Amino acid sequence: MPRLDESLLTHLPPFDGLSRTDIRRILDGAVSRRFEIGADIFREGEPADRFFLLLDGYIRVVRSTEAGEQITVLHIPAGQLFGIARAIGRETYPGRAVAAAECIVLCWPTGLWDDFTRQYPGFSLSTARTVGVRLGEIQSRMQELATLHVEARIATALLRLITQTGRPTEAGVEIDFPLTRQDLSEMTGTTLHTVSRLLSAWQREGVVQSQHRRITVLDRARLEACAQHRG
């Protein structure tokens, strides 16, 4: 494995402000791995013996019901720690982490968590913040599920996606990884049929453009208007 470059970490919240030697030491404890689209990074219920930093890509964390339905509880954009069950005192991962795009991650054994916490002063606060942000996000999504109609929920989901991973094109903003109707339905608590119908309608109106597993938002303002509609 190639030696990892220190600049990978110097600007990320949990590590910024650390000395070169500290960062060198942190990197030397890490393993870098690549995951193809659709690959599982960890599974629900597995012992949480590693934690990760997402260098590049996009991850979704899903939970399954007993009936086999999946719902996406969380999205993780590049630059964030994840799989930090340890930080909240859990022994196992509470969900399955799937690579939504091709992902490059750094991976440490959980044992190092306590070392990092002890040795690097800002680390603990920084990860607490990460947890806090996630808690807030989940609460927002819960609120959306409880109060918004399907149309507004899907609009919100698309807006979130283009904000986090959008790539500008000549026509609009494209979501930077393949996304099925099924995926969107799992994010919004609906069915792939309803998502398909809605995207078709939006396409007819020129709000979005979509081919096979590719979605481009053409008219962001219109989506925002949809997202406002209360149910």
Partner DNA sequence: CTCAATCTTTGAGCAAGCGCAAAGTCCGAC
Partner DNA sequence: GTCGGACTTTGCGCTTGCTCAAAGATTGAG
Can you give the binding site for a copy of itself, defined by CB under 8 A?
63, 65, 67, 69, 71, 73, 85, 87-90, 94-95, 125-126, 128-129, 131-132, 134-136, 138-139, 141-143, 145-147, 188-189, 230
Q: In terms of CB distance, is 23 or 223 closer to DNA?
A: 223
Q: In terms of CB distance, is 1 or 146 closer to a copy of itself?
A: 146
Residue 149 interaction partner, one of a copy of itself, DNA, none, beta carbon < 5-8 Å per kind: DNA
Residue 134 interaction partner, one of DNA, a copy of itself, none, beta carbon < 5-8 Å per kind: a copy of itself
CB 99 within 8 A of CB 73: no
Residues at the site binding DNA, with contacts judged by CB under 7 A: 149-151, 180-182, 189-194, 196-197, 199-200, 203, 210-213, 231
Q: How far is the CB of 216 from DNA (least distance, A)?
A: 13
Residue 82: burial class (beta carbons within 10 Å; 0-12, 13-18, 19+): buried
E strands in the chain: 31-35, 40-42, 50-56, 58-64, 70-77, 81-82, 96-99, 103-109, 166-168, 173-175, 208-211, 214-217
Q: Angle CA(100)–CA(138)–CA(135) in degrees, nearest 5?
A: 110
State how far the Cα of 25 lies from the Cα of 214, in Å rounded to an integer: 40
Q: How far is the CB of 132 from DNA (least distance, A)?
A: 30
Q: Which two tokens stand for residue 141?
A: 């999504």
Q: How far is the CB of 97 from a copy of itself (least distance, A)?
A: 14
- List of residues 6+ apart from 91 with CB closer than 8 A: 47, 48, 85
Q: Which two tokens stand for residue 94?
A: 């509470």
Residue 180 interaction partner, one of a copy of itself, DNA, none, beta carbon < 5-8 Å per kind: DNA
Q: In terms of CB distance, is 71 or 218 closer to a copy of itself?
A: 71
Q: In terms of CB distance, is 142 or 171 closer to a copy of itself?
A: 142
Integer-rounded Cα Rg, in Å, for the chain is 19
Residue 81: burial class (beta carbons within 10 Å; 0-12, 13-18, 19+): buried
Residue 125 interaction partner, one of DNA, a copy of itself, none, beta carbon < 5-8 Å per kind: a copy of itself
Q: In terms of CB distance, is 124 or 203 closer to a copy of itself?
A: 124
Q: How far is the CB of 147 from DNA (least distance, A)?
A: 9
Residue 75 interaction partner, one of a copy of itself, DNA, none, beta carbon < 5-8 Å per kind: none
- List of residues 6+ apart from 56 with CB closer than 8 A: 78, 102, 103, 104
Q: In terms of CB distance, is 73 or 173 closer to a copy of itself?
A: 73
Q: Which of 175, 148, 207 is nearest to 75 (CA)?
A: 175
